[in-house]
């Protein structure tokens, strides 16, 4: 009985409240109508029901919608694509685009020019590449080449892009930059973040691995036991290590210096003809695969390996370089470095049913890649090395510009190391027969040995 009474009272109160609210609305409408009629009588303009064009009305929302900012995308449906690129890097200051009136030529700069000339991006997107999600999978430094660089980008939908896109891009690119193909990717594809690993190669003359008692010149031929030694040294880099000594401006505590090396191998030596000097020079290629690399890391790993083989450093120095002590690690020339391949194993596995793989682009594209690699990149690396002698010049400055301790427990370079033995070999080559080669007599304390003086000169 009591519950029924409470329910009736609530109903009466609710009806009264709704009736009062309805009357207030009707009164407001009547007042607005009367005001409009009064303004008509007085000849005044009626207030507009639309947003004012006055810029002071910044917070007015018209028709319940918020206008979206125009980011420069074409008013068409867009897809995310993967683009595979190869380039000879000797004429460019790296991959990443540079801005400004005096910007140096880069690979990305030419790629953006070609996209703009094809009408696939606007000038606004050209100035802001991140707005159409343009991203490279791996950054390459000055003079470094690549044969399978992958870029991700968002372009207007073009059904024939995978078939004709490469030719359209190459029409506006220099001969040393080639686009090999396009493939449609997932809508959130990001070439850098989706890349599982990168593989680089480094080609150099074998005389870089000459021992102290061997002559460093074009006639040098590496021995099988030295190739095996190089292979053993490279294995010391495998796994996760702190490579703060192998880059610049990084502290040991910076966790970004920790990188994972998957494999590091030494190939078989091969001969290449030097037509100018009419002789054969022996080269060898080192291959490294890692999850990712920091600035100068690969070139410094090569430089440290050369130092150990030439007995300027001990093998233990490599392990010590991963620890907290700052060390002088030489950086090998950039000429022989080549980005070989990018790996997208997880992407290919997860999207195998809906998208083409990005680790394998098929026989036709692989043939084009290998043709460019052989004719424009590998040949150019070898010819430039023979012409400019960059490795020989680097080796000649190695001892003068870097500090080495062959014996980690010693504060001085021990006698009989590379400098003295190399000077002795040079002396033997010029005047002294091998049978007369003997150890120099000890000098009084404080007087340097003759071999050290000749090396310094």
Beta bridge partners of 285: 203
Distance, in Å, from the CA atom of 86 to the CA atom of 179, rounded to the nearest integer, reads 6
Residue 372's φ and ψ, nearest 5 degrees, are -65, -40
Assess contact for 344 and 194: CB atoms under 8 A: yes
* Cβ neighbours of residue 253 closer than 8 Å, sequence gap 6 or more: none
b or e along 344-378 (b: 16 or more beta carbons within 10 Å of the residue's beta carbon)? Answer: beebbeebeeebbebbebeeebeebbeebbeebbb
Token pair 């390459």 in the structure block, residue: 140
Give, to the nearest 10 degrees, the angle between helix 390-401 and helix 379-388: 60
Distance, in Å, from the CA atom of 270 to the CA atom of 205, rounded to the nearest integer, reads 10
Task: Extract the tokens encoding 91.
Answer: 């004429």
Active site residues: 141
Query: How many alpha carbons fall within 13 Å on the CB side of residue 137?
Result: 29
Give, to the nearest 10 degrees, the angle between helix 161-170 and helix 107-117: 110
Task: Extract the tokens encoding 173.
Answer: 């690119």
Name the CA dihedral angle for 318, 319, 322, 328, rounded to a multiple of 10 degrees. -30
Distance, in Å, from the CA atom of 144 to the CA atom of 92, rounded to the nearest integer, reads 8
| Farthest-apart Cα atoms in the chain, separation | 130
According to DSSP, residue 150 is labeled: E
The response to whether 200 counts as a known ligand-binding position is: yes
Distance, in Å, from the CA atom of 318 to the CA atom of 147, rounded to the nearest integer, reads 30
Token pair 């033995």 in the structure block, residue: 421
Token pair 């910076």 in the structure block, residue: 254
Distance, in Å, from the CA atom of 315 to the CA atom of 317, rounded to the nearest integer, reads 5
According to DSSP, residue 130 is labeled: G
Distance, in Å, from the CA atom of 177 to the CA atom of 147, rounded to the nearest integer, reads 10
Pairing label, strands 145-156, 337-343: parallel
Can you say which residues are annotated as belonging to the binding site for substrate? 200
Task: Extract the annotated binding site.
Answer: 200
């Amino acid at each position: 009985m009591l519950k029924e009474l409470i329910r009736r009272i609530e109903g009466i109160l609710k009806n009264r409240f709704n009736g009062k609210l309805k009357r207030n609305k009707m009164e407001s409408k009547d007042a607005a109508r009367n005001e409009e009629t009064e303004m008509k009588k007085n000849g005044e303009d009626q207030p507009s029901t639309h947003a004012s064009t006055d810029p002071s009305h910044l917070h007015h929302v018209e028709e319940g919608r918020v206008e979206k900012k125009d980011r420069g995308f074409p008013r068409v449906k867009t897809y995310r694509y993967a683009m595979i690129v190869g380039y000879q890097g000797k004429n460019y200051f790296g991959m990443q685009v540079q801005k400004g009136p005096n910007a140096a030529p880069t690979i990305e700069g030419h790629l953006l020019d070609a996209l703009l000339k094809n009408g696939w991006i606007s000038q606004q997107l050209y100035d802001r590449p991140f707005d159409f999600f343009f991203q490279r999978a791996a950054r390459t430094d000055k003079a470094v080449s690549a044969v399978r660089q992958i870029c991700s980008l968002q372009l207007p939908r073009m059904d024939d892009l995978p078939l004709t896109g490469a030719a359209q891009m190459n029409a506006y690119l220099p001969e040393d930059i080639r686009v090999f193909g396009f493939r449609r990717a997932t809508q959130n594809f990001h070439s850098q973040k989706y890349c599982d690993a990168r593989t680089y190669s480094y080609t150099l003359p074998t005389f870089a691995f000459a021992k102290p008692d061997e002559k460093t010149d074009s006639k040098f031929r590496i021995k099988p036991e030295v190739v095996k030694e190089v292979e053993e040294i490279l294995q010391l880099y495998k796994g996760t290590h702190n490579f703060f000594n192998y880059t610049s401006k990084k502290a040991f505590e910076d966790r970004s210096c920790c990188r994972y090396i998957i494999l590091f191998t030494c190939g078989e030596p091969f001969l290449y003809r030097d037509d100018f000097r009419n002789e054969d020079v022996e080269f060898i290629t080192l291959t490294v695969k890692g999850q990712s690399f920091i600035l100068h890391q690969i070139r410094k790993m090569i430089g440290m390996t050369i130092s150990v083989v030439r007995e300027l450093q001990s093998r233990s120095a490599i392990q010590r370089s991963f620890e907290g002590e700052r060390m002088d690690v030489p950086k090998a020339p950039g000429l022989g470095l080549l980005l070989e391949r990018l790996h997208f194993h997880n992407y290919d596995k997860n999207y195998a049913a809906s998208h083409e793989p990005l680790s394998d682009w098929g026989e036709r594209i692989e043939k084009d890649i290998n043709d460019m690699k052989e004719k424009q990149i590998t040949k150019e690396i070898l010819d430039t090395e023979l012409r400019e002698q960059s490795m020989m010049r680097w080796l000649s400055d190695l001892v003068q510009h870097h500090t080495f301790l062959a014996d980690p427990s010693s504060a001085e370079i021990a006698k009989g190391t590379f400098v003295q033995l190399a000077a002795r070999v040079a002396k033997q080559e010029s005047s002294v027969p091998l049978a007369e080669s003997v150890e120099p007599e000890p000098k009084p304390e404080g007087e340097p040995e003759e071999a050290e003086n000749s090396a310094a000169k």
